Amino acid sequence: MPDDEEYIAGVSRDVPLKDLMNTGEVAKVTGHTVGTLNTFRSLRNTGQATKGPEFVQLGRSIFYRRDAVDAYLAKRAGL
């Protein structure tokens, strides 16, 4: 069984911290407000929708993997 930190984060230890973005950074890149990203996360957590980029949680902090944000932007652009 993985240790607690790896399990909670949902991110392997091979992901450098520079590849994680906080909600404010993602808001700037995607053009969404922080509130919209919070709503997307809430909908994902309750299984109501899969809008917004995938996220990971470390303790009480929320992060987005840079590759997940890139994939989200590509999907929005229809690529």
**Residue 63 scores a pLDDT above 60:** yes
Averaged over 56-68, what is the pLDDT? Answer: 91
Tell me which residue of 46, 39, 41 sits closest to 64, measured CA to CA.
41
pLDDT for position 3: 45
**Residue 15 scores a pLDDT above 80:** no
**If you compute the radius of gyration of the chain from its CA atoms, what whole number of angstroms results?**
13
Instruction: Decide: 66 and 20 in contact? Cβ < 8 Å.
Output: yes
pLDDT for position 27: 97
pLDDT for position 16: 67
Residue 2 — very low, low, confident or very high, per pLDDT cuts 50/70/90? very low
> Distance between CA atoms of 31 and 55, rounded to whole angstroms?
17
Instruction: Decide: 27 and 69 in contact? Cβ < 8 Å.
Output: no
Cut 0.85: pTM above it: no
